[in-house]
Amino acid sequence: MNISSFLKPELVNLDIDSNNLEEILLSMTTILKEKNLIENEKKVLKKLLERERLGSTAIGYLSAVPHAKLKELKAPLISISITNKEINYGNNGEQVRFILLILSPQETPIVHLQILAASAAFLRKSKEILSKILKEKDKEKIISILKSYESEES
């Protein structure tokens, strides 16, 4: 499963200045709403925060993968946010700068799990690629870095 196939430059958010998880997730869902990719950003935010209460989606290496399944989606959505500084993510005190938001249709739980697995594999195996991404200021180049990693892995 290639994460990059779901990414678009307009869904990559750079220079996030907030240190509040809820604010960051709201800004991510608001962009999806503005692009007419979701119907209700506050409903999606609520689902994401409910998932975080079950256990933090921070996975180490300054990364988190918040995710939810939604009835109204026809296809998976992936969005990236990169913060200017490390933020405390959730209740476990994990430090995060790279947030990969995954939203999937509720009817395709296997696809959701495949995307989560691919995301976790990428983030755990590739510290140096993530380091390049965190330094990059061009949205297209971020997607290109991710694509190059995926092509090396296949």
Residues of the chain with pLDDT under 70: 154
Q: What is the CA radius of gyration of the chain?
A: 14
What's the confidence (pLDDT) of residue 108? 92
Give the model's pLDDT for residue 99: 95
pLDDT for residue 154 = 63
Closest CA to 12 of 125, 147, 111: 147
Compute the distance between CA of residue 111 and CA of residue 122 in angstroms, rounded to an integer: 16
Specify the pLDDT at position 29: 96
> What is the architecture, at CATH level 2, of domain 3-153?
3-Layer(aba) Sandwich (3.40)
